[in-house]
Structure 1
Amino acid sequence: MITTSLDPGAVHYEVLDHVAYITIDRPTRRNALSVSALNALAAFFTEAAEDADVWAILLRSTGDDAFCAGADLKELDEMARAGARFPVPMTGTSRNLFELILETCKPVVAALNGPALAGGAELALACDLRIAADHATFGLPEAKRGMGANFASVVLPRMIPRAVAFEMLYTAEPVSAERAERLGLYNRVVPAAELPAAGEHLVRSIVGNAPLSLRRYKEMAVKGWELSVHAALRLNAGPNPYLSEDREEGIRAFVEKRDPAWRGH
């Protein structure tokens, strides 16, 4: 199934064998996030979350110059010159894209084919897993642009050592892919030529597992993030895999020494 973009040629959507592929296709603008691209991404992530045939999502970009360079600064400058309202994070009628991705009820993998900068870094942070090409630096240059890195300023100190997060935010200097991997920002780093196959292998290794278990993991981990251990253990968020037909199938397939045939219920 293929769905046309809200911004033709900018974002593509396809579902194949339980994986939703969302692709930013603005290589001449370093895959920067225009307003229409943001709207398309929000629409496609919402569609993937609601589609029972989708068990995981792979977010990727075209070209190799950048995964995403952040907001389209040329468009923002044109908006300022025209006196248009600046799209301030967490305000307005549209939901913040990064929050939407963070709370998407299915595993989200980002394949970083180049540098992830500013809003592009925040886009990657919103995903659950990040696999990156060896030239994919990671940086938050907002302090050099008079911006705020609203999402990263909240999430980054929760993901890596606080002092390191502050250094990245305060200096606005990018880190190498190798250091991002050491910090745990990237799950793995591969040669650029191997990234498409590596990203595909990773997402396929996910959707080979029970879809209800995957959703349970995602919802429990996200909704229990700031709760105490005792409260989180009683959260019971997401589908209950213990009472599902897939649980019966998974155990039976193990006993019979065959691959399980998941049905998602």
Structure 2
Amino acid sequence: MTEVTAETLNPIETRRDGHVLEVTLNRGKANAIDLATSRIMGKVFQDFRDDPELRVAIITAAGEKFFCPGWDLKAAADGDAVDGDYGVGGFGGLQELRGLNKPVIAAVNGICCGGGLELALSADIIMAADHATFALPEIRSGTVADAASIKLPKRIPYHIAMEMLFTGRWLDAEEAARWGMINQVHPADQLLARAREMAQLIASGPPLVNAAIKEIVREAEDMKFQDAMNRITKSQFATVETLYTSEDQLEGARAFAEKRDPVWKGK
């Protein structure tokens, strides 16, 4: 049985269950993110990246109404600069965190819009409560959803993404799932449990393979197929090279030959 530990870092709560880190945004009624919160989140995800015992993270939020509306406009009115120091990893700690080769699951428990949607899009898997809603309302305040303008047209049909960006219209969870923006929809009282099940399933797999998957997918996104394949075969992806010379690679072969479950060590 794995040990479960918890920690509170002002607006961020963390829960560690074996190889899984759970990060909960808990900042006021709406869970909006200011500069200080973003910097804390960046440190949390940086530590997650660098901890060899952690394999999967869940990002969620406290309460039942809001996942995250993004940037805290009240903090901005009090002097937080929109182009200020977001900390390592950029806004919300995930979007620009270099070398994050571990899976991240977003458990969206309510309203998810603006920078909050950009935060969710930074995850590898998105699960949502059945009452969750999604939008990019920046157009209505005369600004641009910059990260979403890059990410969203690559994740869902181009015309749906452009409609969201140009009009700010809202999608409910069912429609978001239909367009492939999110993976699964669950009753609100089951969401976190289902996210934890998914995290434990992924964490039980080979961590070096998960790392290689993340690096290949990220680096190959704008590459031609053959160029990406050449980089793999020439050992130009660090995670792939680590995998192919690892104890886990041998363990996988031995376990298959011996007809038993493999024991992954991540080395």
Q: Compute the TM-score of the two structures, normalised by the length of structure 1.
A: 0.90
Q: Tell me whether 1:96 sits opposite 2:90 in the alignment.
A: yes
Q: Which runs of 5+ in 1 are unaligned?
A: none
- The range that moved more, 252-261 or 218-227, is 252-261
Equivalences for residues 10-29 of structure 1 within 5 A: 10-26=11-27, 28-29=28-29
Equivalent position amino acid for 1:158 in 2 = K
Equivalent position amino acid for 1:48 in 2 = F
Q: Residue 92 and residue 136 in structure 1: after superposition, are their counterparts in 2 closer, same or farther (change >3 A)?
A: closer
2:176 equivalent in structure 1 = 180
Q: Is the 8 A contact 2:68 2:116 kept in 1?
A: yes
Q: Is the 8 A contact 2:107 2:128 kept in 1?
A: yes
SS of 2:106's equivalent in the other structure is strand
Q: Which consecutive aligned stretches of 4+ in structure 1 deviate over 4 angstroms post-superposition?
A: 1-4, 91-95
1:189 equivalent in structure 2 = 185
Give the Å deviation of 1:258.
Answer: 2.7
State the distance in 1 between where 2:192 and 2:73 align.
Answer: 28
State the distance in 1 between where 2:133 and 2:86 align.
Answer: 31
State the distance in 2 between where 1:261 and 1:30 align.
Answer: 42
* Count of residues paired in the alignment: 255
State the distance in 2 between where 1:221 and 1:99 align.
Answer: 15
Q: CA RMSD in A?
A: 1.9
SS of 1:41's equivalent in the other structure is helix
State the distance in 2 between where 1:92 and 1:12 align.
Answer: 18
Give the Å deviation of 1:34.
Answer: 1.6
Q: Tell me whether 1:258 sits opposite 2:260 in the alignment.
A: yes
Equivalent position amino acid for 1:195 in 2 = L
State the distance in 2 between where 1:35 and 1:232 align.
Answer: 37
Quick one: percent identity of the two aligned structures? 34
SS of 1:99's equivalent in the other structure is coil
1:210 to 206, 209, 218: 206
Q: Compute the TM-score of the two structures, normalised by the length of structure 2.
A: 0.89
Higher strand proportion, which one? Answer: 2
Q: Is the 8 A contact 2:137 2:168 kept in 1?
A: yes
Q: Is the 8 A contact 1:220 1:238 kept in 2?
A: no
2:126 equivalent in structure 1 = 130
2:69 equivalent in structure 1 = 69
Q: Is the 8 A contact 2:70 2:114 kept in 1?
A: yes
Give the Å deviation of 1:87.
Answer: 2.2
Equivalences for residues 1-265 of structure 1 within 5 A: 2=6, 4-5=8-9, 8=10, 10-26=11-27, 28-79=28-79, 86-88=81-83, 95-97=89-91, 98-101=94-97, 104-236=100-232, 237-240=237-240, 241-265=243-267
SS of 1:235's equivalent in the other structure is helix
Give the Å deviation of 1:244.
Answer: 1.5
- Cα deviation 1:85-122 (Å, max 9, x = unaligned): x2228x88755234325852111110011121111000
Q: Residue 94 and residue 194 in structure 1: after superposition, are their counterparts in 2 closer, same or farther (change >3 A)?
A: closer
Q: Is the 8 A contact 1:220 1:235 kept in 2?
A: no
Q: Which runs of 5+ in 2 are unaligned?
A: none
- Cα deviation 1:180-223 (Å, max 9, x = unaligned): 10111100111111101110111111111000000000011011
Q: Residue 62 and residue 95 in structure 1: after superposition, are their counterparts in 2 closer, same or farther (change >3 A)?
A: closer
- The range that moved more, 234-243 or 139-148, is 234-243
Equivalent position amino acid for 1:167 in 2 = E
SS of 1:100's equivalent in the other structure is coil
